[in-house]
Structure 1
Amino acid sequence: MEKNRREESSGGARTEKRCLPLAQSVRHGSKAVTRHRKPMHILKQKLLAVTEYIPPKPSAAPGAYPSQTKRMEQESGLVRFLKKKVETTFEECKMLVVVQNNATNAEDMLLLRHRLHKHDIAIKFFPNQVMRSYLPSSQYRNMLPLFIGQTVMFVSKEPKVKEMLRVLRSSPQMILLGGCIENTMLSREGILNYSRLPSITTVQGELVGGLTLMTSQTVSMLQRHPAHLSALLQQYIKQNQPGGTPESTAPETTPKTEGAAV
């Protein structure tokens, strides 16, 4: 019996391997339903209702509504007053220097203002909004990139760059950015090079001295020949006078001729 069973089982296995069906039906036992769907909480229902996606309504066709005109923003009275003050400052002052203010307290600012006032240099505080609205339409439009962050302006009617730099050395929190001196845009290095130039008084004195020397040399060269000619004529007149001797007159006329020539 066991042998037959083994043969049957082996033969059955062989037949199963040879003729395996493509699909097999597997039967499972039925399971009891133990879980039911619970109703959704009322707060969750309200939250889902509030956060429900509402698609946007389709926009109207172009031309269905009249075009809306753009409203021009009108400047306030304070902005117009500051712009007029900025324009007056740029017209009257020859030195306009932009300096970055890195958290300078009130006491240091007051001391710096006092030191600059000794050299007739003033500190001006203008909002960047006012400067950006004034500079693009003026000849100082190249100074626009300097007005970023907390900035102040050192202005004076005369270019006193050396005095300004000397005062800035005692205030390390004030950083020089650039400026405009005598209608010339200068960077930080340009302002430092400008401070090394001699003053106008020194240059004028050197120019006047050179012109005076050249003029004196020209006058001496022009007067040399007429003076020499007049000395010779005087000597000739003395020689032709009665009782005059050439030996006595020659030594007297020679020094005069040399003096006139010199």
Structure 2
Amino acid sequence: MAATLCGRILPRTGWVPLAQSVRHGSKAVTRHRKPMHILKQKLMAVTEYIPPKPTAPPGALAPHTRKIDQESGLVKLLKKKVETVFRECKMIAVVQNNATSAEDMLLLKHRLHRYDITIKFFPNQVIRSFLPSSQYCNMQPLFIGQTAMLVSKEPKVKEMLRVLKSSPQMILLGGCIENTLLSREGILNYSRLPSMTTVHGELVGGLTMMTSQTVSVLQRHPAHLSALLQQYIKQQQSADAPESAVQSSPKTEEAAV
């Protein structure tokens, strides 16, 4: 038995296997794949064929529905308030609010209230939706960013500018005074105009001077004519006096004889 096992395990002398592995020497890799040039990559990306997407049949797509934005009740109420302000106030000035604190804003409101000037805050969306359909449509570029309106029923421009000098955070942009759109320079020029009382006094003084000059011109010719007539009468009287003296002298001589 030992001989049999040894014969199975140990190879037979002179026996050659049918397949024999032969190991060759390793070869050096001399060819590498070069990367594509960047211009060629761009050209390939631009000229790449993109197949069209298959279109769906007409009945497969849902019909397009347009959403209609309806104004809320708050927006309608604010638009009515804006319309009331533009209709009742003769002075509407637009200022830019540059991070004014609550304390400064309260002080500014108190100073403006002395001259019956009110500060109003409205969303720009509400004002820009109201202005295109009104006569104040040219004021629309003023309402950009954080803005506020200084309104008054009477044009008190001097008082408003005097108060704004103490609040550098509020920058004047423009406004509408007595249905006239004015820029910042226009409002400054308007503030330099005299008051209505002064203008009325100057007008009355000018009319009174003109009437007095007219009366003097109209009375000049009759007065001059009367003076000439009076002078003529005096000259005639002085000429008649010597003649009467000459005529009276011969009579006196005859009486003496």
Q: Flag whether TM exceeds 0.5 (same fold).
A: yes
Q: Which residue in the other structure is 1:94 paired with?
A: 90
1:114 to 2:110 alignment: yes
Question: What is the deviation of 1:69?
Answer: 3.9
TM-score (norm 1): 0.63
User: Normalized against structure 2, the TM-score is what?
Assistant: 0.64
Q: Which amino acid aligns with 2:119?
A: I
Q: What is aligned with 2:127?
A: 131
Matched, 1:103 2:99: yes
Q: How does 1:149-168 map to 2 (within 5 A)?
A: 149-168=145-164
The residue matched to 1:104 in structure 2 has which SS?
coil
CA deviation string 1:148-171 (max 9, x = no partner): 111110011111111101001111
What is the distance in 1 between the residues matched to 2:74 and 2:115? 30
| Equivalent position amino acid for 1:116 in 2 | L
Partner of 1:45: none
Pick aligned residue for 1:148 from 144, 169, 178: 144
Equivalent-residue separation in structure 1 for 2:172 and 2:208 (angstroms)? 41
Which deviates the most, 204-213 or 217-226? 217-226
Secondary structure of 1:99's partner? Answer: strand
Deviations 1:184-230 (A, max 9, x none): 22221221122112222222221221111011110121133345556
- SS of match in other structure, 2:172: strand
Change beyond 3 A, Cα 1:219–1:58: same
1:175 aligned residue: 171
- Distance apart, 1:231 and its partner CA: 7.4
**1:123-182 residue CA offsets vs partner (Å, 9 max, x unmatched):** 111111101111111111111111111111001111111110100111111111111112
Structure 2 residues not aligned, in runs of 5+: 1-23, 28-52, 239-257
Rate the CA distance shift 1:218–1:149 in 2: closer, same or farther, 3 A. Answer: same
Q: Say whether residues 1:75 and 2:74 are aligned partners.
A: no
- Give the match for residue 183 of structure 2: 187
Structure 1 alignment gaps of length 5 or more: 1-26, 31-56, 240-244, 248-262
Structure number, greater radius of gyration: 2
Following superposition of structure 1 onto structure 2, how do residues 216-235 of structure 1 map, counting pairs within 5 Å? 216-227=212-223
Distance across 2 between alignment mates of 1:63 and 1:128: 44
- Quick one: percent identity of the two aligned structures? 77
Matched residue of 1:209: which SS? helix
* Distance change (3 Å), C-alpha of 1:66 and 1:223: farther
Counterpart code for 1:177: L
Q: Which residue of 1 aligns with 2:200?
A: 204
Residue of structure 2 in register with 1:50 after alignment? none
2-structure distance, mates of 1:196, 1:110: 28
Q: Specify the code of the residue in structure 2 equivalent to 1:210.
A: G
Q: CA RMSD for the aligned pairs?
A: 2.7
- Relative distance call for 1:72 and 1:172 in structure 2 (3 A) is same
Which SS does the other structure have where 2:119 is aligned? strand
Judged with a 3 Å threshold, the aligned counterparts in structure 2 of structure 1 residues 97 and 221 are, in CA distance, closer, same or farther, namely same
Residue 33 of structure 1 is matched in structure 2 by none
Task: Give the letter for the 2:207 counterpart.
Answer: L
Letter of the structure 1 residue corresponding to residue 113 of structure 2 = H
